[in-house]
Structure 1
């Protein structure tokens, strides 16, 4: 109960928005043309198609997701479980409103993209990915498959990502056999990857920074030049070359993609033998300059 007292109003608002967005992506773009989302959401869509009409998508979303979140309560914590159940509830209610209450015809085609499977797959994936990404970013989840993967992936000796991937591959294969066609499951894979990439952008940021690791014997000169040029903090570590056994310094430095060329020019202008390694980072949270 103490953890539930930490519920934030901002998170609740953003999770509400996430549920609404996800419902729009699924019901407006995917369900009308019988494309499938990933995870439990995709499973719910398949079950809704092959069962009687009174067993709706929104009903399956609640039936399948909520028990998984409750089952994962011990591992994920009460706050996450509350946020996740709330998000799925909003997603489910909004899906019901769009399909059964609002004057929107989503019976045979997307109201916005018609029967164009590629447009439906791409826009459905991107929009549902925005919803799922917002849910993750603000402490919840849109799909119980993540909980399932955390619980069982380690037990069967695979990573969480591999578990989710295997689940979705099996889901799409099942869809192919059930509908006796592979066109829709193949387009659903396009949806899956569009959503996956969108989730990464939402959770980690669109404009990702670059981290540079610089190994040099001239750290003072390089740090001074970089600091004067980019006006940002720099971190240094003592290092030693294994082959040469010479003392070196490792410099850790964050730049954006437009500053990489200038950074290389400055470093190699001072130390032509400096070793530079560059990789992508996300969510750079900076404090005071060092």
Structure 2
């Protein structure tokens, strides 16, 4: 098996275990509602049981909601991406059943914080490995692919509506704690997902053609070349290459530059923003 494939499968398995622990040992005992499809499944399971006496399971509903989305992703996004996502969704549905619901604590603050950290960490791992956990992620990718626009406002509206009904039906304090858990989860996702963290490189080199050629051969990234720059010490004419890459790509970029020009000077600046979409599936 290819190392990249094996690594992604391990990441999907790790996601299923970590997210299931966060859900079954923190969010469910603390009456904390997740965001997206999982949160919707939580709420529906509880409403159907309380109002109609119908007993369903969260893993089963999560799988049912994801099936049509995965079918669309297979046709419209990318089949390799979809295969890994299918594996993550299916395995997670089974692991959710295997991991017992254990009440370590019912303190909603502790449950919101620790559940949010575990969930955000697990989701960040999958996004950093070029696949997703299904659900609303697929809708977001489809819309972004078709229009180039983010639908973050839709995600916010969906989750706010979900928390509103959860609060209306089962208590506002849990809706507020759930909102805090979702916020914590989102922040952890951003921290873990190095793919979306951008850094700017400034490369001073006497061998710009070799360096630029090597970088373009290994990465699909634009490079700006500034001619006629001069070193203050030796007053030799050099060229300056500028490019923006993800934090995850930085190690590979440095190795590529070193192979092309061992004397190149590389400066890295973090916290960079761009006026164009940096990365698309």
Common fold by TM > 0.5 = yes
How much does 1:75 deviate?
A: 2.1
- The answer as to 2:226 corresponding to 1:237 is yes
Structure 1: gaps spanning 5 or more residues:
100-104, 221-234, 240-248, 255-278
CA contact (8 A) 1:209 1:281 kept: yes
Match of 2:257 in 1: 288
RMSD: 3.5
In structure 2, how many angstroms separate the alpha carbons of the residues matched to 1:45 and 1:177? 15
Cα distance in structure 2, aligned partners of 1:209 and 1:156:
22
Partner residue, 1:203: 193
- Would you say the 8 A contact 2:15–2:126 is kept in 1? yes
Structure 1 length as normaliser, TM-score?
0.66
1:78-97 to structure 2, matched below 5 A, reads 78-97=79-98
- Relative to 1, partners in 2 of residues 1:153 and 1:29: Cα closer, same or farther, differing over 3 Å? same
Task: Report how far residue 213 of structure 1 moved.
Answer: 7.4
* Residue in structure 1 matched with residue 135 of structure 2 by the alignment: 144
Q: Is 1:27 the equivalent of 2:21?
A: no
- Structure of greater Rg: 1
Trace 1:1-290 onto structure 2 (pairs within 5 A). Answer: 8-52=5-49, 54-99=55-100, 106=102, 110-111=103-104, 114-152=105-143, 159-179=150-170, 181-204=171-194, 211=200, 237=226, 282-283=247-248, 284=250, 285-286=252-253, 287-289=256-258, 290=264
Using the alignment, how far apart are the partners of 1:23 and 1:188 within structure 2?
17
Deviation at 1:163, TM superposition (A): 2.3
What's the TM-score, normalizing by structure 2?
0.68
Change (3 A) 1:210 1:153: closer
C-alpha distance in 1 between matches for 2:55 and 2:91? 20
Q: Is the 8 A contact 1:7 1:79 kept in 2?
A: no
Shift of the 252–160 alpha-carbon distance from structure 1 to 2, 3 Å rule, reads: farther
Q: After the TM superposition, which of the residue ranges 22-31 and 63-72 deviates more from structure 2? A: 63-72
Between the aligned partners of 1:280 and 1:139, the Cα distance in structure 2 is 16
